[in-house]
Amino acid sequence: MKKDNASFDETAKPIAPGTYSVTASVAEDSDYEAISDTATFVVSKFTPTLSIPDVTTGGEPHPTCTYATREGNIATVDSLPNNGASLSQPGIAYKGAGDEEYSFTVPTEPGDYSATLVYSSDSRLGDFNNDVTTTFKISLKEGKGKVTVADTVYGESSVKPKAESDTNDADKAEFFYKVKNTDDSTYTKDRPTKPGKYVCKAVFPKTGSYDECTATCEFVIEKAKGAGTLTASDIYVGMDSKVTPVSATNGVTAVTYKYKEKGADDSKYTDKVPTEPGEYIVKATFAATDYYLETSATAGFKTNYMPAPTFGLSGTQGKKNFYTDTVTIKAPAGYEVSLSYGKDYKDSINILDGVKYVYFKDTKTGALSDKTAVPAYKMDSLLPVVKGVKNNDTIFKDEYELEITDDNLEMVKVNDQTVPVKDGKATYKLTSDSGEMLYKIEATDQAGHTVTYTITVASPWVEDGFVPAGQIVKLKPGKAYSLKSGKKYKIKGDDTLYNGGSKFYVDKETSLELEEVQ
């Protein structure tokens, strides 16, 4: 073989890049002549490769290289000396990001590095003048840590995070806090004090061997127990409860109240202020705040009816302490009065005969009295009644029984003659006395009401004015009397004849009896 125009070398095999000729010869033998043939071939230049995986601190760079051996073969090795090249394989040199020249010193510190192949000057390795480099990184090991924060109660102890790490310096960890389920951008170094659910993040600084790392945990700041006291004053029925709540923890701006009878089960609590006299328990519930849990306190109190104020009656009074018109009860200043408990209270009310009790209300406090007895009073607003007739009536009957009534009838007189009264009634028989009689009737009740009637009772014949025969009649002067026409009359005991159909008068009150003459 020979390279280009060089002379043939019968033994050497070419390994260096270039174009070569090869001649093959066969010697003559008894059967054949000697022959030979020549061919050409090329040994191409081989470009080596180099790779080094990233490593972490404590680990050594591990290069892998593919190159041409001095025998002309292609070799791949995963271990190269970290020093100069040898006759059999290349070496490797390193340079940090800030270094100017390569060095055979193997880097161990974290950083970015480049590496290059270094060849021996032995020409048998060929013309390898190109640079073969690669880059790799030495990184810090991944740090690991743990943080814990014990749940706490507001006001009892502060938030105390505890950092632990086998890789990083836990004593130098920094702590950050945020409200649970909020964005990570809300982390702050301020330790929370307000009750709530939180996340603590511990940041462990990097060391010579381990990178910075973080750890998180959740914790809770519980609301503290609230505290409050309650005092209650006795009240009158109808008033709002008089309670005084005190709480340094929860405040008193949001307090609700419930009531029950003393000794009753707690299930009997109700929102309604008691409306009956008795002993009761009031429970105040102090609403929870941002910092304290709901709490409650109880107190006992009594309820009773308000004493009724002093009052009197007004109205027109007649005789014997009778009121003769409407009786009025006017409530004293600051009160109202009613005929019904718990409703229809007014400044004043009118009462009728027979009302025994009234009820009072304090207009300022709402306090109610129990039923209050009305002072004894008598009332009579009605006049005595003369039944069946009107004043100045004329009754054409020979007899008429007069009846006068009044619950409080005291006296009746007929023509100045006193008529007996019994059980509110008086009766008297009125007569015409065979003619006509005028009666003056006076009736008075105990309250002083008096009625006076004038009634005329006349025989039925007086109504048409024809004097009848055969009976004694009484005639009055100044009044015309008539005799029925077509007949003749005479006065008994007198033979004087009188023709019917004529009118006549008498000059004085006269009693007579007419006889009809045939």
Domain total in the chain: 7
State pLDDT tens for residues 322-363. 888 889 999 999 999 999 999 999 999 998 878 899 999 999
Structural domain boundaries enclosing 340? 313-379
Q: What pLDDT, on the 0 to 100 scale, is given for residue 293?
A: 97
Q: What pLDDT, on the 0 to 100 scale, is given for residue 87?
A: 45
- Residue at which a domain ends, from 336, 353, 379: 379
Residue 446's closest CA among 324, 263, 283, 277?
324
Residue 375 has pLDDT above 70, yes or no: yes
Q: What pLDDT, on the 0 to 100 scale, is given for residue 257?
A: 97
> Same domain for 343 and 413?
no
Average pLDDT over residues 189-208: 96
Please tell me the distance from the alpha carbon of residue 163 to that of residue 173, in angstroms, as a whole number.
Answer: 7
- Which CATH number characterizes residue 437's domain? 2.60.40.10
State pLDDT tens for residues 229-268. 999 999 999 999 999 999 999 999 999 999 999 999 999 9
Q: Could you please report the per-residue DSSP string of 30-95?
A: SSS--EEEEEEEEEPPP--EEE---EETTS----EEEEE-TTS-EEEES---SSS--SSS-EEEEE
Residue 85 has pLDDT above 80, yes or no: no
> Same domain for 217 and 169?
yes
Q: What pLDDT, on the 0 to 100 scale, is given for residue 201?
A: 98
Partners of 242 in beta bridges: 233
> Same domain for 123 and 154?
no
**Cα–Cα distance list, 182 to 178, 185, 187, 459 (Å):** 7, 8, 9, 118
C-alpha dihedral, 351 to 352 to 356 to 359, nearest 10°: -20
User: Would you call 205 exposed, middle or buried from its count of C-beta atoms within 10 A (0-12, 13-18, 19+)?
Assistant: middle
3-state secondary structure of 320: helix
- Residue at which a domain ends, from 418, 435, 460: 460
State pLDDT tens for residues 135-152. 999 999 999 999 999 999
Q: What pLDDT, on the 0 to 100 scale, is given for residue 88?
A: 54
State pLDDT tens for residues 214-236. 999 999 999 999 999 999 999 99
- Which CATH number characterizes residue 83's domain? 2.60.40
Please tell me the distance from the alpha carbon of residue 343 to that of residue 170, in angstroms, as a whole number.
Answer: 77
Q: What pLDDT, on the 0 to 100 scale, is given for residue 123?
A: 34
Confidence of residue 306 (pLDDT cuts 50, 70, 90): very high
Highest mean predicted confidence (pLDDT) among 15-24, 65-74, 440-449: 440-449
Q: What pLDDT, on the 0 to 100 scale, is given for residue 414?
A: 96
> Same domain for 59 and 121?
yes
**Contact call for residues 225 and 156 (beta carbons, < 8 A):** no
* Rounded to 5°, angle at Cα 204 from 201 and 210: 140
Average pLDDT over residues 170-185: 97
Q: What pLDDT, on the 0 to 100 scale, is given for residue 440?
A: 97
**Contact call for residues 213 and 204 (beta carbons, < 8 A):** yes
Residue % of the chain over a pLDDT of 70: 89
| Averaged confidence pLDDT in the chain | 89
- Residue at which a domain ends, from 322, 351, 379: 379
Q: What pLDDT, on the 0 to 100 scale, is given for residue 75?
A: 67
> Same domain for 332 and 371?
yes
State pLDDT tens for residues 376-408. 888 888 999 999 999 999 999 999 999 999 999
Q: What pLDDT, on the 0 to 100 scale, is given for residue 19?
A: 81
**Cα–Cα distance list, 36 to 9, 13, 162 (Å):** 16, 19, 90
Residue 63 has pLDDT above 90, yes or no: no
Q: What pLDDT, on the 0 to 100 scale, is given for residue 294?
A: 97
Q: Could you please report the per-residue DSSP string of 251-294?
A: -SSSEEEEEEETT--GGG-BSSPP-SSEEEEEEEEEPP-SSB--
Q: Which residue has the higher pLDDT, 429 or 127?
A: 429
Please tell me the distance from the alpha carbon of residue 288 to that of residue 291, in angstroms, as a whole number.
Answer: 8
State pLDDT tens for residues 94-134. 899 989 888 888 898 899 999 888 766 543 333 344 468 89
Average pLDDT over residues 67-75: 64
**Contact call for residues 228 and 246 (beta carbons, < 8 A):** yes
State the pTM of this model: 0.59
> Same domain for 456 and 470?
no
Q: What pLDDT, on the 0 to 100 scale, is given for residue 118?
A: 76
